[in-house]
Chains A and B, each alone.
Chain A
Amino acid sequence: MIGAAKRPPVAWTLLRHEWRLAWRSVGASRRPGAKSRPRWRSIAAIAILLVLAHTLGLATIALPAQWRDTQPFRIVALGALAFLFTFMLSFAMSRVVSAFHERRDLDLMLAAPIAPVTILFVRAFATVATVWAMFALFVYPFANIAVLSGHWWMARWYPLLPFAALATTGIALLLTDAVVRLVGIRRARVGLQVLSALIGASIYLISQGQNLLPEATRRRWSSFVMDWVARDPWPVRFAAGIADGDVVVWGALVLVSVSLFGLALVVARRRFAAVALMPEADSRVVRASSTAVERRVARGFGRGLIATLLIKEWRLILRAPQLLSQILLQLLYLVPLVFFAFGRNTHGAAPIEWAGAAHASAVVGFASTLATSLAWLSVAAEDAPDLIAGSPRPRGRILAAKLLAATIPPYALVVVGALESLRRSTTEAPVLLIYGALACASAALLSAAGPTNAKRTDFQRRHRGRGFAAVIEGFEFLLWAAAAGLMASGHWIIGLGVTVLALAWPALRLRVALENVRSA
């Protein structure tokens, strides 16, 4: 008999599988047909990131030794921990959704002769490790430099991170379970994505939100917060205790982290297999009667090409809440622009032309971002390219209809913004209408010149593998926003200069766009 080689424990095999997938997702290029990035490139990217983070960490050298006893230290500790916790929780949620509800390998895993609980435990621990590794890249370089420069107490941050990863993954598992129970797997995925983004941006949005308040209220709020911190309440003491390595606080943190993670595993264990294998599609199948179908058929057909394509594109966008939420979340990160514009205007601290400039910037920036997203969806992420390419209609006409579908909603936003601006001045509205149109047209042109045949689900990864072009196009919305702002505030010369800059890249891509249209 041939001696059977000793097999590694199944948990170890699963863990290695998780690790391999996590590593390859770092190095993978999602461009259709592109090969995965070689390993050395991923290692080089991580090395560069570490060097940069250590360089930033040099700032800790300047910290005075007795700084830990001061009030600013407590405030910074509270802020840093709040940021760290919210970002970690947000990241942990996205990892939990990916590991437990998006990857399609659970069918295979659960069909294998492995206890479901082993799969659950391995995935949960792999998620903790991923969350820890991700934040270690950014937090440990600061601790390294601080420890090397004599702030030895910062060494206590090393064990902080694994426990923070344990706690946030535990909360993420519990939240995911609750949302899935509440709304079902399909809606839960969208809901969790939105929740994760909102949690990640919460501190940022709260900090910017105060700009909406009138000056007096803002001052009152500010002094209230300072008084609250000065009274040394428990959250501040807790944050300072964690940052400082207080034994009691640390003990509490470890206990809370382990309990949360344990509770999450106990809760998830009961329903893990059932939830993981829930059908992907909505199982509520409504069978239509022949009469209903005939009625629907009688209403349909007969629309022209442009109208049909417009309706088709809008239906596809509106019926994909996951995509819609991703688009709207992008806009969420532009909210500070709006806060800035309307906030200053509300409390009257800025001259009226500056308020108009900020408003024009915000509206055009919004429109440009929205148009870019929608144009990518309708042009690059066509679900049935063969059907469109095989149709007896000129490619230019189809492309025009698709781009029209992508630019009408953002331009409607511009029109609303222009009407709103009439309350302030009559010069802002034309600027908005012209620059809104230019920004939308630029987004449409760049989309026509860009790559096609992507998948809608790759929306968030659409820039991968496009290098320089993606970076430049990422700046386009800023250029259009700046140009509109400058023109609205009467800075014509600089405004025109920025306009030329904004037009430069689309002009360079014009030839490619035309070739793409003609190539049909």
Chain B
Amino acid sequence: MPLALDVEHLVKHFPGADRAAVDDLSLRVEAGTFYALLGPNGAGKTTTLRMIAGLLAPDAGRIAIDGIDLAIDPLAAKRIVAYVPDEPLLYDKLTPIEYLELIAALWRIDPEPARVASTRLLDLLGLTPHALQRCETFSRGMRQKLVLAGALMRAPRLLILDEPLTGLDAEAARLVKNLLGDHVGAGGTVILTTHILEVAERMAARIGVIRSGRLIAEGTLDELRSRAHVVAPSGHGVATLEDVFLELVADRGEDAPVLP
């Protein structure tokens, strides 16, 4: 399978910080994969995603999206990537349609496909009744859905989502999960971070675990189970992703092991 994302030895150090936010991180994600990036707060997940989305320049390392080197041709790479940040930043004074028009202009989407996609996504996400309303009246969940509509409208080959289910009710969360599943089903690649481990467990084909800016484990859930050598706390059945994750990120006072 071709690689949707190829990250090599990525490093990011913020001024004034005593350690690197991202420290020699390498990651490969095959096209058509649902990939979950997990880690405790402050592990470097968001920094990593922002560098992949071209929003933050790495200090060292290389990022290639669908074979396009982000440092060499950032605009071509950005054309096939959509990033949904953890905080859904919208224009409060614009309506959802005006927001989608802006995205269509920025990503040069032809008018007709843009019209079709926006109507379909607004309808699918239950935003049609609010489509002529300014976003300032929206709840967090509605804002999150609109940002997602904006991302899906670009039909990205790589969809990056930072905590996409925060603030969504159960119905909306199910809807979003279905949409992400459909995106992968259609050949797209999804990379998401989440603290809801059940989502990663049920949806992700592969899981990466970050701690202190380093990728400390990566693989399918079964591979992670065998790597972490954990059994279910009850002693019966198999360990859940939560058990595996907690074992992997447990701070034992030594530097996190790094994947070979």
Contact = CB atoms under 8 A, between A and B. Distances in A.
A388 B137 contact: no
B131 interface: yes
B89 interface: yes
A315 B111 CA distance: 21
Contacts of B155: none
Contacts, number: 118
A388 B53 CA distance: 12
A391 B107 contact: yes
B101 A303 contact: yes
A467 interface: no
Given A294-B119, A305-B106, A391-B106, A383 B78 contact: no
Interface residues of B, number: 48
A512 to B, nearest CB: 17
Nearest to B106: A391
Given A304-B105, A389-B54, A320 B93 contact: yes
A292 B132 contact: yes
B114 interface: yes
Interface in A281-306: 281-282, 285-288, 290, 292-294, 296-298, 300-305
Chain B CB within 10 A, most for which of A285, A297, A305: A297
B75 A384 contact: no
Contact of B101 (A281, A292, A300, A320): A300
Contacts of A286: 132-133
B80 to A, nearest CB: 8
A182 B53 CA distance: 48
A316 B101 contact: no
Contact of B55 (A304, A308, A319, A386): A386
B177 interface: no
A297 B128 contact: no
A392 B75 contact: yes
A201 to B, nearest CB: 28
Interface in B66-123: 74-79, 81-83, 85, 89-94, 97-98, 101-109, 111, 114-115, 118-119, 122-123
A290 B128 CA distance: 7
B136 interface: yes
A309 interface: yes
A387 interface: yes
B89 A297 contact: no
A364 to B, nearest CB: 30
B195 interface: no
B134 interface: yes
Contact of A316 (B82, B85, B94): B94
A312 interface: yes
Nearest to B137: A281
B101 A308 contact: yes
B136 A281 contact: yes
Given A293-B132, A320-B93, A315 B98 contact: yes
Interface in B30-74: 50, 53-55, 74
Contact of A298 (B55, B115, B136): B115
Contacts of B108: 305, 392
B260 interface: no
B150 interface: yes
* Smallest CB-CB A-B distances: 3 pairs: A302-B111, A308-B105, A319-B93
Interface of B: 50, 53-55, 74-79, 81-83, 85, 89-94, 97-98, 101-109, 111, 114-115, 118-119, 122-123, 128-134, 136-137, 150
9 contacts: A281-B136, A285-B130, A288-B129, A302-B114, A315-B98, A387-B106, A390-B81, A391-B106, A391-B107
